[in-house]
Structure 1
Amino acid sequence: MSTPFGVDLGNSNTVIACARNRGIDIIVNEVSNRSTPSIVGFGPKSRYLGETAKNQQTSNIKNTVENLKRIIGLPHNHPDFKIEEKFFTVPLTKNKSDNGISAKVKYLNKNQEFNATQLLAMYLDKIKDTAFKETKGNITDICLSVPDWYTEKQRRAAADACRIAGLNPVRIVNELTAAAVGYGVFKAADLPENDYKKVAFVDVGHSSYQVSIAAIKRGELKILGTAFDKHFGGRDFDYAIAEHFANEFKSKYKIDVTENPKAFYRVLTAAEKLKKVLSANTQAPFNIESVMNDVDVSSSLSREELEKLVAPLLQRFNIPIETALKEAGLKPEELDSIEVIGGSSRIPAVKTRIAEIFGKPLSFTLNQDEAIAKGNAYICACHSPTVRVRPFKFEDYNLYTVSYFWDKEDEDEDHLEVFPKGGLFPSTKLITLYRKGPKFEVIAKYTKPKELPKGTEHFIAKWTIGNVEPSSGESSIAVKLKLRNDPSGFYTIESAHTVEEQIVKELIEPKEGETQDEDAEPQYKEVKKLVKKNDCSIEVECAALSEPELQKYIEQESQMIMEDKLVADTEERKNQLEEYIYELRGKLEDQYKEFASKQEVEKLTGLLQKAEDWLYEDGYESTKAKYIAKYEELASIGNVIRGRYLAKEQEKKEQYRQKQEAAQAQAMAEKMAQARKDDGNKDDKSKNNSNNKNKKNNKKDDEGDISMD
């Protein structure tokens, strides 16, 4: 049974949630953090993923890749690439196979290239491993959230990355839609049953800013409008601060940190920390030791100065809000609530600006970092056959108009606008085409360039429909196509079949008001109907990886996992040997002193010294097998001495146990003797009382006799 889990793939950090224990839990990573850095690094012996990549980033900056969600499915010639390139410290190049983006890194002491889909798959494999270690469950099904502005190509690439990582992407969902689902499910008690509650969801993240307007009632959700700014987020604030101090250090310390990638990264990291400090304080120091050329730098920044630096960014806030409201056909005053999420929404100036635009107070009832992940986990649970969840229907907003094209042949039209912008999905449309056979092509394209982000390729997919055979004597045949914008936002042709006109018998029903004799035979009439003839074959060419390519990447990822595991196991064995050397040496002078002969101590001490010298010289980068052999060589003698020590300890325990049992037995005997003594005393006392009573009675009898005389 697969444990349903959802992943909020953040540009800076990723949050994992899973459905269990009658609720949604956030998964902590190996260092007990509730989020994991979205980073992949490469080293001479293995990869660094998540926390380890973050820890290695400063020293390994030229082989560390971040901002993974910004390049997945992005063509190398896309205008966004020129903007994104400055945020990377590794060389990015054109991927020859699909015109996408690859990162050049040094891995296993060789120059290698990995495309964006592979890089994301590596990271998702780490996320899967984290979830498995925490839940101990079978992790296969995943609901992954992506930015609302992702195109078909980017969504397909994200799904492929999941498959390379051994995961089944049951749904690719828009980030704010996932947050809205979480709101609708976990705050159902506050929602009306009949009327819709109008809620604006605002997400100010690390690299982008998104707004969605939703209509929510108990058990149901519709996204009415969505808008975004792809290049606005927390990292832009960090760069504004870093560039401010870089300019200051040029004049103050005569150094240019922008020329040194490591130095600028350290300034950028310090800028992010300063930004967070200024969210709660009005003034913050800025200090970095030996930032460059052994120069220590020191400065400070006030919240007021920060707001002046980012003023041009804050002026861009209104556009997505106004656009989303316009698409939803609502005014700010018609909204019932404004829910704000995203790490950058903690910045006071950001909160103030959003409230000014809406003209209403903001609501922070959702967890700003975890709301999307929890919504994803719930959606994944909805697709699980083994987990029961409260039913919740939701429909998403289609951002771009899509039309399907075909050869005209005998048709009046050669295309049809099937899924318009503003429509809700999942959605299905049935169309009928008259074809001559034996096969034909259908192509899906984005058809309104003004709606699209600049540089977006218009082509979506091409389907070849085969097994089209007109009936005998006919020049063409009707083909019914089931076109679908599926729950993940993918445009597909789900099925295709031919139909032909046949004469069939149809039961004649009595007219309204007429009575029919029960014994009368049923009457039929012959009518012409379109009846399914046969299923058509469908071959697709789309942005998704072909099966051979997918298998190739899966094999490569499996090989790298094995290499990482071997390195981790080798390091563990090395640490085990080092620990054993120091532990055994210490015990020989203490616990094991009286259990080893002088000759054994001398021999073992010599072996320990040799093993230590080897470990820090020739054996510093040895193999797993050699570490095991060295350990066993020492343990073969050490375990003999340890056995004597344990035997003595066991003897002491046995003696102690016997003493305890003897003491308990003696205590019990004394207790029983005392009890018997107490019982004897009671009997004596009772006897004395009885004698005294008899004496008193005798005395009374004597007195009575006297009086009677």
Structure 2
Amino acid sequence: MAAIGIHLGSTCACAAVYKDGRADVVANDAGDRVTPAVVAFSENEEVVGLAAKQNRVRNISNTVVKVKQLLGRSCGDPQAEKYIADSKCSIVEKTGKLSYEIDGKLVSPEDVAKLIFSKMKETAQSALGSDVNDTVITVPFDFDENQKNALGEAAIAAGLNVLRLIHEPSAALLAYGIGQDSPSGKSNLLVYKLGGTSLSITVMEVNSGLYRVVSTNTDDSIGGTCFTEALAQHLASEFQRLYKYDVRENPRAMMKLMNSAEVAKHSLSTLGSANCFVDSLYDGLDFDCNVSRARFELICSALFNKCIEAIRKVLQQAGLTADNINKVVLCGGSARMPKLQQMMKELFPLVELLNSIPPDEVIPIGAAMEAGILLGKENVFLDDEMLSVECSAKDILVKAVNESGDDTFMVLFPLGTPLPARRQHTLQAPGSNSSVCLELYESLAKSLVKEDDKFAQIVLQDLDVKEDGPHDILTVLTMKRDGSLHVTCTDQDTGRCEAITVEVAS
């Protein structure tokens, strides 16, 4: 019995195979265990992986990168608009769908993803020596139904039999056997994924072998590419210092520096220094520069701090501290960086940091293990429930007022939160008020919250006026699998309580 686990990231893809009770990542035809998620088109062929990435300097307008960011999105989506603005490959809208325009032909994002999945399938089958197609595919928590469907359809078009779509943090826990080997007892785990284009942090509760999401957040403003860009800018400054030429406005030269910076960044995860050499960078001039790990960490110090600060925000959102976390699981290629791991150990001094599996291999290994578990069950293909996970379809937010008197919104249930789920929130209101109103809003992730997005409110009246501080209103929100939301508000001083149930919150 054999099966495949595939993780398609924004910048890289990775496949693992499950056989004889264990899961292992397999190397591609170039000998690499991770394949760049890059597809280059020419008149006669499509090239996937490292060759496409290396040739991008010469074929930039016909090379597709980061296709995962466009899958399942439509024109008008803020993330899609950002992707289109940054893309060097022309993207057009036709009959309501976005497609790449390559040499006069339209290529859909699903077709690009299909080529990457085909490459992963070939890699896995070559390692297994047989035509195994049973596969589990990983998806981020913040993927909506359209994105999940697009990803699944691309995998099916590549000839894969998709057993299940599994969330990336759950796959990470499976890779380490968390909740499987010793299912009794309750613990909190933090899954930290720093990929090429985003940072995703998820706090999960494991109880009797079941996973529950406590809090999750994805930041698209930081990823491994940001570290590469920072190093590339440093190299451009060094070139200007040596040769008095500024290459920052030269796209071709900067892409060469980005390629060199990326190789150096990877080397600095294991070595104390790395050499950056670029042949004919500008006006026939070669560039050679040595960068130490200490220099790289100094250049990227603000980025490292941002990566750690994001953890504190998620813990605060979950109502937890670092001491409440039992284990931390590292995922994503950029989580290999020694400085980041050192800072995480300082934040969690008493917590086990799980990084024995290479971070960029954790998620596909977990997916392969899930595939093995599913194949071990009878009638797996007849159980439609196994192909989907009930999740909140929108962000559920609570409205508050900050010290300046401005409205602020806190996300309580992020889009994609598996259901059922429960959250606790303490709302503070001026002690001079005799009533407090809690307002709940729903919104698509990353979009601005408008007054029209309000779907429920609950009012606590006849409160005792206080002069020595604010009212503390404990709010407990429980969202069931059917999307209904039960809200209870309790005044901490008097015990006065109000409750409502919204039939379909999201």
Whether the TM-score (by the shorter chain) exceeds 0.5 is yes
Contact 1:15 1:373 in 2 (8 A): yes
SS of corresponding position for 1:200: strand
Quote the Cα distance in structure 2 between the aligned partners of 1:78 and 1:310: 31
Pick from 139, 142, 153 the counterpart of residue 149 of structure 1.
142
Which residue pairs with 1:45 in the alignment? 44
The structure, 1 or 2, with the larger RCO (C-alpha pairs under 8 Å, 6+ apart) is: 2
Quote the Cα distance in structure 1 between the aligned partners of 2:390 and 2:323: 22
Measured at CA, do residues 35 and 354 of structure 1 come closer, stay the same or move farther in structure 2, by a change above 3 Å? same
Which residue pairs with 2:121 in the alignment? 128
* Paired residue type of 2:92: K
Quote the Cα distance in structure 1 between the aligned partners of 2:37 and 2:188: 33
Pick from 201, 220, 235 the counterpart of residue 211 of structure 1.
201
Greater share of residues in strand: 2
**What pairs up with 1:673-688 in 2 under 5 angstroms?**
none
SS of corresponding position for 2:76: coil
Quote the Cα distance in structure 2 between the aligned partners of 1:208 and 1:269: 19
**What pairs up with 1:360-509 in 2 under 5 angstroms?**
360=350, 362-384=353-375, 398=391, 400-401=393-394, 425=418, 448-449=441-442, 452-454=445-447
Pick from 73, 94, 97 the counterpart of residue 96 of structure 1.
94
**What pairs up with 1:221-620 in 2 under 5 angstroms?**
221-250=211-240, 252-360=242-350, 362-384=353-375, 398=391, 400-401=393-394, 425=418, 448-449=441-442, 452-454=445-447
Question: Where does the alignment leave 5 or more consecutive residues of structure 1 unmatched?
Answer: 404-418, 429-446, 457-483, 492-709
Which residue pairs with 2:156 in the alignment? 163
Contact 1:400 1:452 in 2 (8 A): no
Measured at CA, do residues 425 and 148 of structure 1 come closer, stay the same or move farther in structure 2, by a change above 3 Å? closer
Quote the Cα distance in structure 2 between the aligned partners of 1:151 and 1:311: 34
Measured at CA, do residues 297 and 15 of structure 1 come closer, stay the same or move farther in structure 2, by a change above 3 Å? same
- By how many angstroms is 1:318 displaced? 4.0
SS of corresponding position for 1:95: strand
- The structure with the largest alpha-carbon Rg is 1
SS of corresponding position for 1:143: strand
Structure 1 residues 559-617: Cα deviation after superposition (integer angstroms, max 9, x where no partner): xxxxxxxxxxxxxxxxxxxxxxxxxxxxxxxxxxxxxxxxxxxxxxxxxxxxxxxxxxx
Structure 1 residues 205-254: Cα deviation after superposition (integer angstroms, max 9, x where no partner): 22111112222356433332212212311111001111222244345434
Contact 1:7 1:15 in 2 (8 A): yes
Quote the Cα distance in structure 2 between the aligned partners of 1:318 and 1:368: 17
Quote the Cα distance in structure 2 between the aligned partners of 1:76 and 1:247: 37
Quote the Cα distance in structure 1 between the aligned partners of 2:317 and 2:391: 11
Which residue pairs with 1:116 in the alignment? 109
Quote the Cα distance in structure 1 between the aligned partners of 2:371 and 2:363: 12
Quote the Cα distance in structure 1 between the aligned partners of 2:418 and 2:37: 29
Measured at CA, do residues 43 and 337 of structure 1 come closer, stay the same or move farther in structure 2, by a change above 3 Å? same
* Paired residue type of 1:308: L
- By how many angstroms is 1:353 displaced? 3.0
SS of corresponding position for 2:369: helix
- By how many angstroms is 1:264 displaced? 2.1
Pick from 169, 173, 176 the counterpart of residue 176 of structure 1.
169
Structure 1 residues 107-142: Cα deviation after superposition (integer angstroms, max 9, x where no partner): xxxx22212122111211222222223324334332
With the length of structure 1 as denominator, give the TM-score of the two structures.
0.53
- By how many angstroms is 1:376 displaced? 0.7
Contact 1:141 1:170 in 2 (8 A): yes
Contact 2:143 2:416 in 1 (8 A): no
- By how many angstroms is 1:398 displaced? 4.1
Q: Does 1:61 align with 2:54?
A: no
Quote the Cα distance in structure 2 between the aligned partners of 1:255 and 1:62: 26
Measured at CA, do residues 5 and 57 of structure 1 come closer, stay the same or move farther in structure 2, by a change above 3 Å? same
**What pairs up with 1:643-662 in 2 under 5 angstroms?**
none
- By how many angstroms is 1:315 displaced? 3.1
Which residue pairs with 1:11 in the alignment? 10
Quote the Cα distance in structure 1 between the aligned partners of 2:350 and 2:307: 15
* Paired residue type of 1:262: R
* Paired residue type of 1:212: T
SS of corresponding position for 1:62: helix
- By how many angstroms is 1:298 displaced? 2.7
Which residue pairs with 2:402 in the alignment? none
Quote the Cα distance in structure 2 between the aligned partners of 1:85 and 1:422: 23
Measured at CA, do residues 66 and 420 of structure 1 come closer, stay the same or move farther in structure 2, by a change above 3 Å? closer
Greater share of residues in helix: 1
Quote the Cα distance in structure 2 between the aligned partners of 1:161 and 1:222: 28
Identity %: 24
**What pairs up with 1:628-647 in 2 under 5 angstroms?**
none
RMSD: 3.6
Quote the Cα distance in structure 2 between the aligned partners of 1:98 and 1:360: 52
Which residue pairs with 2:102 in the alignment? 105
Measured at CA, do residues 234 and 423 of structure 1 come closer, stay the same or move farther in structure 2, by a change above 3 Å? closer
Pick from 187, 191, 196 the counterpart of residue 197 of structure 1.
187
Measured at CA, do residues 264 and 13 of structure 1 come closer, stay the same or move farther in structure 2, by a change above 3 Å? same
With the length of structure 2 as denominator, give the TM-score of the two structures.
0.72
SS of corresponding position for 2:177: helix
Contact 1:132 1:138 in 2 (8 A): yes
SS of corresponding position for 1:162: helix
* Paired residue type of 2:327: S
SS of corresponding position for 1:57: coil
Aligned length: 415
Contact 1:184 1:220 in 2 (8 A): no
- By how many angstroms is 1:401 displaced? 4.3
Measured at CA, do residues 41 and 82 of structure 1 come closer, stay the same or move farther in structure 2, by a change above 3 Å? same
